[in-house]
Structure 1
C-alpha cells in the first residue's frame, strides 16, 4: 500500500499572490523514490494542469533516478540537490533527466557551482533561506540569474519575504503570511460589520427582502458575491443574475458558505490574496477529507471551519472577537478555538498538511481512517478548487 504522504507550501510573487505550489514527499520507513513516483503517478487523473508550477521536493529523503519513473506533467518542477547529481548515483540521475527532460530546479548548496556544469538545463535555482543570509541571497541571485529563476524557500517572516523580492528572487515559499502582521483591532471595520449582518440574516433564514436590503448597502459586496457564485469553482450550469436568483438556485445553506468567504475579502491586509487562496484551500480540503466520514449536511460547516481558520489574520481581530460577531454552530467555534469537537481532527490534519512533519500527517490521517492516496488526492483537489476561485 502507498505510504507516501505529501505536505504543501505556497510560492508567492511580489504582489503577494500564490503563483506556484510546492509538494514535499514524506516516505514511510520501507518506501523509496520508486514508491514516490508511483504515488505521484496515481494522481495523474486529478493533477491540475495549469500555468502554476508545482515543485516536487524529496524533503529529507535521498533523491535518485527512481523518481524519474514518474511521467511528470509539464507544470511539475523537480527539485534536485546538488549532492544527488554529483554523488555515486549521479550519472544515473543525470541520464534519466536527459532522457525524460522534466522541468528541473537546482537546490543551491556548497556543491551547486559544480552541479551547474552538469549537462542538465535548470529552469529554477532554489535557495533555502535558513542557510543563507539575506545579503548572500541577493549576491547569489545575481550570480545565478543566467542559469534559472531564483526561488527562496522556507521564508519565515513578511520582512524576509520583502527582502528576498528586493534581492532579485522571483518567488518565495513559506507560510510567513499566515501570521498576524499587526496588533488585533478593537472592532470590525464597517464593511466587515455589514457582511456579518448579512451572514447572520442568512443563517436565520431571514426574509429575502431584508437580506437584499442589507446587500444594497454595499454594492461591492454584492458584486463580489455574484462573482464567487458564478466562478468556475462553483460549477453552476447557468449564470446567477441576482441575489434572489441565488437563493432560489442554491438555498440558504449554500449561500451561507459563500457569504462566509466574502467576510474574508473585506481584509485590508497586503497579504490578502494569498490568505484568501489558503482559506479556500483549507476549507475545501477539510470538506474532502471528511466526505465519507460525516453526514453530507455538515459538509458546508466543515468548509466554513477551514475557510475561517484564518479569519483572525484576515480581519485583523482576535479569533474569539471575530466569532462573537457571528452565530456559528458550536462545532465550528470549538474547532477554531481549539476546544475539541468533531471538526477539530479534520482541521488539525489540514494544518499539518502545511507543515514538515510527515509522521504526524500519517498518524492523524490514520486516526481518521484515511489512506495516503485519499489524503494526497484531497490536497490536489483542494488546490484545483482554490485556483478555480481566484480572480
Structure 2
C-alpha cells in the first residue's frame, strides 16, 4: 500500500533483551525528518500492522515527534503495540483521559523517563513498566535492599543506554526486567568471557561445509560433513522449512534441500547458520543483529538488484559481525571462508558497492535518523524505500523465530 508517512520519517530498531538474553520485543523508533509535513498516526499504524499483526511479537513504539505521538495517543493501535509515553506528556492532565483509554483498549504503556512531577494518580496503574536511562537511574547509588526516603516504586523498569557488559549485569542486579539494545562491542571484546567461548565446534563444521559447497562437491560428500553435527542438520532443516523461506513443500532431508535449493541458495543459508551458531547466551543478541543485517541489506536491493547481488548483500550483512564472534580480523577470517569479491571489499577494506548498504544497516540499528537519511541519499534511495526495507526485515525476522 502507498503510505505517505513513510516518506517523511526514519525508522530504526533495537532489541529489548531480558536477563536470559532472550529478545522479548522490538523497539521501533520513529523520527520525523520532514517536519513541515503533517504526519498521520493511522498511516503509521497501518504500516506497522502489516509487520506486527494482532497476537504477534510485541513492538514498542518510540515516537520522536510530539505531534505524531499526540495523534497516535488518540488513535487505536493494535493490542500488540506497546506505546512509549514520555514522562512530561504523561504528567500533563490534558492527556490523562487518552492515556486511560489506551490502557482500557489493552495497549501496554511504557513510561519513558523519570517524571518531572508526580503523575496523576488515576493513570499511574496504566503504565506497566518504565524506561529509565542508565545515567538517570537513582538506583545506582542505593544500597541493595534500601530505597531512598519518599521514593515509591510500583512498576518494573527497562534500562536504556547500557554500553558495557558490567553495566548490563548491574542493571539486572538492580532489578531491570530488560535492557534496550545490546553492548555488542563490549560483549565481543577479547576480555569478555563470552568472546572466549564464541568459537564453537559446529562453527568449524559450517566453515568446512560452506567451502565444500563453494567448490561444488557431490551431495554425498556434503552429507558426510553435515552428519558430524546432528544439531546443525536440525537447525538447517528448521530454517529452510520456516515461512520466511517461502517453499511450497516441506524439506525432509539435506539431500532434498540441495535438490530443491541448488548450491547458491544453500550457501546463503549456511552463511546464516554460521552467524547464529554460537551457544553462548551473551552472543544471542549479536546473532540476532547478524540475521537482521543480512535480511535488511537484501531488502534494500530487492527491487533493483539481481539474484547475485541480493545473495551477496545478504551474506555481507550476515557475516558483518563474524569478526567479533570469532575474535579474528576479517582479513584473516575470510581466508578460510570463501566470499564474493564485493563482500570481501566491504568487510575487509571498508569500500566497494556493498559497503554503503552495510553502513546504512548500522545506522538503522543505532537510531541515528540524520545518518540514515544521509546514507539513503548516498544510495539514491528515498526514505520510503528504506522504511519499507526496515518493515520487511522485521516481518521476515519474526517468521524465522
TM-score w.r.t. the length of structure 2 is 0.86
- Any residues of structure 2 matched to 1:237-386 within 5 Å, and which? 237-386=248-397
Deviates more, 1:64-73 or 1:151-160: 64-73
RMSD value over aligned CA atoms? Answer: 2.8
2:100 is matched with which residue? 98
Pairing 1:111–2:119 present:
no
2:365 partner SS: coil
1:162 is matched with which residue? 169
Give deviations 1:204-224, integer Å, cap 9, x for gaps. 222111111111222222222
1:3 is matched with which residue? 8
One of 216, 222, 227 as aligned partner of 2:227: 216
Aligned 8 A contact 2:17 2:182 in 1: no
Can you give the 5+ residue segments of structure 1 that lack an aligned partner in the other structure?
none
Pairing 1:77–2:85 present:
no
Give the deviation of 1:15 after TM superposition.
1.1
Pairing 1:126–2:131 present:
yes
Change (3 A) 1:359 1:70: farther
Give the deviation of 1:145 after TM superposition.
5.4
TM-score w.r.t. the length of structure 1 is 0.88
Change (3 A) 1:248 1:333: same
2:202 is matched with which residue? 191
Q: C-alpha separation between the residues in 2 aligned to 1:193 and 1:260?
A: 12
1:324 partner SS: coil
Aligned 8 A contact 1:63 1:84 in 2: no
Give the deviation of 1:279 after TM superposition.
1.2
Give the deviation of 1:10 after TM superposition.
0.9
1:232 is matched with which residue? 243
Aligned 8 A contact 2:323 2:330 in 1: yes
Q: C-alpha separation between the residues in 1 aligned to 2:348 and 2:141?
A: 41
Aligned 8 A contact 2:197 2:280 in 1: no
Give the deviation of 1:358 after TM superposition.
0.9
Q: C-alpha separation between the residues in 2 aligned to 1:11 and 1:197?
A: 34
Aligned 8 A contact 2:41 2:69 in 1: no
1:54 is matched with which residue? 59
Q: C-alpha separation between the residues in 1 aligned to 2:365 and 2:139?
A: 24
Pairing 1:68–2:73 present:
yes
Change (3 A) 1:99 1:331: same
Pairing 1:37–2:41 present:
yes
Give the deviation of 1:248 after TM superposition.
0.6
1:18 is matched with which residue? 23
Can you give the 5+ residue segments of structure 2 that lack an aligned partner in the other structure?
none
Q: C-alpha separation between the residues in 2 aligned to 1:385 and 1:140?
A: 44
Q: C-alpha separation between the residues in 1 aligned to 2:299 and 2:198?
A: 33
Q: C-alpha separation between the residues in 2 aligned to 1:324 and 1:233?
A: 31
1:119 partner SS: helix
1:174 is matched with which residue? 181
Aligned length: 384
Change (3 A) 1:284 1:187: closer
